[in-house]
């Protein structure tokens, strides 16, 4: 355990103690004018297509539901684009519709056509991480003490309610309920949003953040499956010894969740990690006739259709980080390439990650 963690902590973006992590945030908010103009245009395209007037982000490819992931991603982009009116609408709707009683987290889904739009009170950890990160950045950019206080309160409840153990690992639970089983724990590798974890660790220093980040990297090193060594959408971690496997509750795929693993690793500069290099090799396999949207991790079969533009942007970013080069141009504006929410969101996030990691 100690030897494995020492290796993980040698990674460049995870090497600093938590008290020094604010240094890692320097330069992420203010950009040169041309880059800022591009970001505002990309955000405006996403906002105009997917944000309702009340601040709800609409998942156009999934019965117009809303998720905390979309609210958090949009809130962060609004802060980066210095769009305070949109941020306030996003935050206001999220607070009114999704705030959980009793803690500082948010229910994960809103179904507008349902008799009870919030039928499941459980949270989704990735959405909470991004909402908290956006609140912290809003507090810093606009001097909003209320946002900073809420972001820190969320960070404390993420540590309190969503961090557990399985075998030798400190793990990040996908939600407060439903993922601890009798013999194993289920995690979602794409919920390890390393740039958000880094930001929350800067705001609420605690050694647990370093354990979460370090063991998250370790899980992504060891939890790889199939011909290309890919991270799965969902991962089983046995309680007794930490042995990893594929849970029976979900298809055994590298798919629409797991495509965010290389995105978040690229965001913090982990270009040599297998969680990034495996997907980059998969997407660049010359045997493919099209860019695959997913791979079956037990049969090595791939999707019969091509990946979305958003996945293509993640693939471009991962490929550039694997090779140590630069993107030839900034990712294309989400408004010009995607007609569905998730593809557009991946493009927008890829653009933010490219900027933060110095690729454009």
Q: How far is CA 47 from CA 44, 56, 77, 353, in A?
A: 5, 10, 9, 18
Mean pLDDT in the chain? 89
Q: Looking at residues 227-254, what average pLDDT do you find?
A: 98
pLDDT category at 275 given cuts 50, 70, 90 is: very high
Token pair recorded at residue 83: 């769009």
Interior/surface letters 190-212, b for 16+ CB within 10 angstroms, e for the rest: bbbbbbbbbbbbbbbbeebbbbb
Determine the pLDDT at residue 37.
Answer: 85
Determine the pLDDT at residue 55.
Answer: 98
pLDDT beyond 50 at 128: yes
Domains, the chain, with CATH or none: 2-355 (1.50.10.10)
Rounded Cα distance, 292 and 85, in Å: 38
CA gyration radius, the chain: 19
Interior/surface letters 113-134, b for 16+ CB within 10 angstroms, e for the rest: eeeeebeebebbbbbbbbbbbb
Catalytic residue among 83, 126, 140, 215: 126
Q: Looking at residues 106-112, what average pLDDT do you find?
A: 98
pLDDT beyond 60 at 297: yes
pLDDT beyond 50 at 8: no
Token pair recorded at residue 12: 């460049």
Lowest mean pLDDT among 23-32, 41-50, 221-230, 334-343: 23-32
Q: Looking at residues 307-316, what average pLDDT do you find?
A: 96
Nearest to 14 by CA among 319, 237, 273: 273
**Is 249 buried (19+), middle (13-18) or exposed (0-12) by CB count in 10 A?**
exposed
Nearest to 162 by CA among 130, 208, 204, 202: 208
| Cβ neighbours for 88, distance < 8 A, ≥ 6 positions apart | 55
pLDDT beyond 90 at 35: no
Determine the pLDDT at residue 360.
Answer: 75
The DSSP annotation for 48-67 comes to HHHB-TTSPBPBTTTTTBEE
pLDDT category at 7 given cuts 50, 70, 90 is: very low
- Residue-wise pLDDT for 10-25, tens only, equals 333 444 333 233 333 3
Token pair recorded at residue 311: 């996945």
The verdict on whether 69 is a catalytic residue reads yes
Alpha helices in the chain (DSSP H): 2-9, 33-50, 68-80, 84-98, 125-142, 145-162, 194-203, 207-222, 260-267, 274-283, 309-323, 334-337, 341-356
SS3 call for 99: strand
The verdict on whether 82 is a catalytic residue reads no
Tell me how long the chain is.
360
Rounded Cα distance, 162 and 175, in Å: 7
Lowest mean pLDDT among 41-45, 154-158, 333-337: 333-337
How crowded is residue 221: how many other Cβ atoms within 10 Å of its Cβ? 16
Catalytic residue among 42, 59, 69, 356: 69
Determine the pLDDT at residue 31.
Answer: 43
């Amino acid at each position: 355990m100690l030897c494995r963690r020492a290796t993980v902590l040698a990674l460049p973006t995870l090497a600093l103690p938590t008290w020094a992590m604010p240094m890692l945030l320097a330069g992420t908010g203010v950009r040169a004018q041309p880059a800022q103009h591009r970001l505002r245009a990309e955000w405006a395209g996403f906002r105009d297509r997917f944000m309702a007037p009340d601040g709800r982000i609409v998942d156009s490819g999934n019965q117009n539901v809303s998720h905390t992931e979309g609210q958090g991603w949009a809130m962060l982009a609004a802060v980066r684009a210095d769009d305070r009116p949109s941020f306030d609408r996003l935050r206001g709707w999220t607070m009114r519709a999704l705030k959980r009683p009793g803690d500082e987290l948010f229910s994960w889904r809103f179904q507008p056509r349902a008799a009870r739009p919030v039928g499941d009170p459980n949270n989704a950890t990735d959405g909470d991480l991004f909402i908290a990160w956006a609140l912290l950045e809003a507090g810093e950019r606009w001097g909003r003490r209320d946002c900073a206080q809420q972001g820190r309160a969320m960070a404390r409840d993420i540590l309190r309610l969503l961090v557990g153990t399985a075998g030798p690992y400190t793990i990040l639970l996908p939600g407060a309920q439903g993922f601890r089983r009798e013999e194993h724990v289920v995690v979602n590798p794409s919920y390890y949003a390393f740039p958000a974890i880094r930001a929350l660790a800067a705001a609420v220093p605690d050694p647990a953040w370093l354990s979460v980040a370090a063991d998250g990297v370790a899980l992504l090193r060891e939890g790889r499956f199939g011909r290309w060594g890919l991270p799965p959408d969902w991962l089983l971690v046995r309680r007794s010894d930490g042995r990893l496997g594929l849970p029976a509750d979900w298809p055994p795929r590298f798919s629409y969740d797991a495509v965010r693993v290389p995105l978040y690793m690229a965001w913090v500069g982990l270009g040599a990690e297998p969680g990034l290099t495996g997907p980059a090799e998969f997407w660049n396999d010359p045997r493919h006739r099209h860019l695959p949207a997913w791979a079956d991790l037990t049969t090595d079969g791939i999707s019969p259709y091509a990946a979305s533009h958003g996945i293509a942007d993640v693939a471009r970013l991962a490929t550039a980080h694997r090779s140590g080069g630069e993107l030839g141009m900034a990712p294309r504006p989400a408004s010009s390439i995607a007609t569905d929410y998730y593809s557009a969101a991946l493009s927008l996030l890829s653009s933010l990650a490219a900027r933060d990691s110095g690729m454009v």
